[in-house]
């Protein structure tokens, strides 16, 4: 451990591995340190992996990587206690190469991805915790690990240590995240034979489906639940911001039980066997919560930098892209032999030019708007279900009268002005 490296990457999630892989491909001497027994052993993901960003790192990865199913249908449910209003998209173009996205089991995928970085020349050490960054004269020069004589040195240290990023905190890049900046998600993997999955989700062969569920899935609190198809299992999970959980006195595992027993969800799970049960935080503070991402000799990537677009459940792709951009900035810095904040600044330029910062900026007020104005999840979703029920129930009432009655019902509860205000506020938050 006394060698000096060009780059030390802390963490072997998608962000860390994409950085280690790209650096190694450029001939840099890379050490990747992971605290888990193996990459993916500490990770949980409900499991959608996006093709585009992964393909930019390893072309045609789907021919080799351990993937579950290509997703051909994305459904969205607005769920009430005994009903669901749904919409979505199913497209057979997603069933063919190059695909759109895939369900994955992270324990398998992360191991495979990290092995590609090792094949490219990166050195991976597992079961090792980085306890702090070593700082000399205002510059990060290496890391201290929990191994005996475990100090290691490098020109650049990349913090890919996930949502809690204790190392980012140690450097003063961010404070303890507030409860409204992180969501606590619990999920379960439920084994179910392939033919039953295909029958229940109306799929053929290895096609996949994802369902995002809002409303009663979180008992009307800000958050989402999800149900995804793997080859021979389902991922079901639910999460809300920690602040919503505290305010509503929700217990995460009770919420998952509630979801699994919901009459709209239960039939999908029937006869399945629980295989794994996991809980994890997701950074959901968005644009306003992005910490400092560059210092002298150090870069921050992925969840550690709060790069998650909660509205589109995109995190793994932002992690991979930010890891790759960090690697490219390090390669540039190496050419100039300048690993200072200025020398590494092309990382920030790349982030701001990319979908990462643009998308986070677009939704910068969304989480806070929906958290501060609970009527969207608590009142409007049930109202929309009632409206659909009224509209589609054939009872001899002329359709125009029905429409009027529905509109009256919608505005009666909150008043016409407040409804207009709510619509405008929601539009502003996601426009």
**Chain residues that interact with ligand FAD, rule: CB under 6 A:** 10-16, 33-36, 42-48, 129-130, 160-162, 185, 187, 237, 280, 282, 302-304, 308, 313-317, 319
Distance CA(283)–CA(303), nearest Å, equals 6
Measured N-to-C along each axis, helices 416-430 and 399-414 cross at an angle, to the nearest 10 degrees, of 90
Nearer to ligand FAD, 155 or 284 (CB): 284
Nearer to ligand FAD, 44 or 192 (CB): 44
Contact at 8 Å (CB) between 10 and 159? Answer: yes
Distance CA(274)–CA(272), nearest Å, equals 7
Nearer to ligand FAD, 327 or 406 (CB): 327
The least distance separating ligand FAD from the CB of residue 26, rounded to whole angstroms, comes to 20
The least distance separating ligand FAD from the CB of residue 109, rounded to whole angstroms, comes to 10
Nearer to ligand FAD, 300 or 419 (CB): 300
The 233-241 sheet, strands edge to edge: 84-90, 71-79, 208-215, 223-229, 233-241, 182-191, 273-283
**Strands 298-300 and 151-159, bridge-based pairing:** parallel
The least distance separating ligand FAD from the CB of residue 181, rounded to whole angstroms, comes to 14
CA dihedral 311→316→319→325, nearest 10 degrees, is -100
Nearer to ligand FAD, 244 or 317 (CB): 317
DSSP state, residue 379: I
Distance CA(25)–CA(113), nearest Å, equals 14
Q: How far is CA 273 from the centre of its chain?
A: 25
Name the helix (H) or strand (E) containing 418.
Answer: helix 416-430
Alpha helices in 202-338 (DSSP H): 242-247, 252-260, 266-269, 316-336
Nearer to ligand FAD, 356 or 387 (CB): 356
Contact at 8 Å (CB) between 218 and 315? Answer: no
The least distance separating ligand FAD from the CB of residue 70, rounded to whole angstroms, comes to 14
Distance CA(368)–CA(359), nearest Å, equals 16
Name the helix (H) or strand (E) containing 355.
Answer: helix 355-362
The least distance separating ligand FAD from the CB of residue 324, rounded to whole angstroms, comes to 12
If DSSP codes are grouped into helix, strand and coil, which group holds residue 190? strand
Nearer to ligand FAD, 42 or 334 (CB): 42
Integer CA distances (angstroms), 240 to 83, 87, 304, 397, in order: 21, 22, 19, 40
* Other CB atoms within 10 Å distance of the CB of residue 290: 20
The least distance separating ligand FAD from the CB of residue 29, rounded to whole angstroms, comes to 19
Nearer to ligand FAD, 173 or 380 (CB): 173
Nearer to ligand FAD, 42 or 219 (CB): 42
The least distance separating ligand FAD from the CB of residue 227, rounded to whole angstroms, comes to 12
Nearer to ligand FAD, 329 or 406 (CB): 329
The least distance separating ligand FAD from the CB of residue 404, rounded to whole angstroms, comes to 41
Nearer to ligand FAD, 176 or 401 (CB): 176
The least distance separating ligand FAD from the CB of residue 339, rounded to whole angstroms, comes to 21
Integer CA distances (angstroms), 172 to 90, 139, 142, 169, 341, in order: 46, 13, 16, 5, 15
The least distance separating ligand FAD from the CB of residue 43, rounded to whole angstroms, comes to 5
Distance CA(128)–CA(38), nearest Å, equals 10
Q: Which structure tokens are listed for 78?
A: 């607005």
The least distance separating ligand FAD from the CB of residue 272, rounded to whole angstroms, comes to 18
Nearer to ligand FAD, 228 or 380 (CB): 228
| Integer Rg of the chain from CA | 23
The least distance separating ligand FAD from the CB of residue 83, rounded to whole angstroms, comes to 26
Burial class (CB in 10 A: 0-12, 13-18, 19+), 97: exposed
């Amino acid at each position: 451990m006394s060698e000096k490296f060009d780059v030390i990457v802390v963490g072997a999630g998608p962000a860390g591995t994409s950085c280690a892989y790209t650096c190694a491909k450029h001939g840099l001497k890379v050490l990747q340190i992971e605290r888990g027994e193996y990459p993916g052993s500490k990770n949980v993901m409900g499991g959608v992996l996006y093709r585009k960003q992964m393909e930019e790192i390893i072309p045609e990865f789907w021919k080799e990587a351990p993937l579950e199913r290509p997703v051909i249908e994305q459904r969205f449910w607005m769920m009430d206690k005994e009903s669901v209003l749904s919409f979505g998209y199913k497209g057979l173009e997603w069933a063919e190469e190059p695909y759109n996205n895939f369900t994955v089991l992270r324990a398998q995928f992360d191991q495979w991805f990290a092995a590609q970085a090792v094949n490219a020349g990166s050195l991976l050490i597992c079961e090792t915790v980085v306890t702090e960054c070593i700082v000399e004269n205002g510059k990060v020069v290496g890391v201290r690990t929990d191994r005996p004589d475990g100090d290691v040195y490098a020109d650049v240290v990349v913090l890919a240590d996930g949502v809690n990023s204790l190392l980012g905190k140690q450097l003063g890049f961010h404070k303890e995240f507030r409860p409204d900046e992180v969501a606590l998600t619990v999920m379960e993997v439920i084994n179910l034979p392939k033919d039953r999955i295909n029958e229940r989700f109306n799929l053929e062969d290895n096609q996949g489906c994802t369902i995002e569920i809002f409303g009663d899935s979180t008992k009307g609190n800000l958050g989402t639940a999800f149900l995804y198809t793997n080859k021979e299992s389902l991922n079901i999970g639910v999460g809300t911001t920690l602040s919503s959980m505290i305010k509503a006195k929700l217990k995460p595992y009770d919420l998952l039980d509630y979801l699994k027993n919901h009459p709209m969800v239960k039939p999908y799970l029937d006869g399945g066997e629980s295989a794994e049960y996991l809980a994890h935080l997701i950074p959901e503070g968005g644009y306003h919560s992005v910490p400092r991402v560059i210092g002298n000799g150090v870069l921050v990537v992925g969840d550690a930098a709060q790069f998650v677009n909660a509205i589109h459940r995109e995190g793994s792709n932002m992690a991979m892209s930010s890891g790759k951009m960090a690697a490219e900035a390090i390669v540039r810095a190496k050419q100039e032999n300048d690993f200072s904040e200025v020398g590494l600044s092309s990382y920030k330029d790349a982030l701001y030019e990319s979908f990462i910062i643009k998308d986070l900026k677009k939704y910068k007020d969304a989480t806070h708007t929906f958290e501060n104005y609970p009527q969207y999840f608590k009142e409007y979703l049930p109202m929309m279900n009632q409206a659909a029920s009224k509209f589609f129930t054939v009872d001899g009432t002329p359709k125009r009268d029905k429409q009027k009655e529905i509109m009256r019902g919608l505005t009666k509860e909150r008043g016409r002005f407040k409804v207009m205000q709510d619509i405008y506020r929601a539009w502003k938050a996601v426009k």
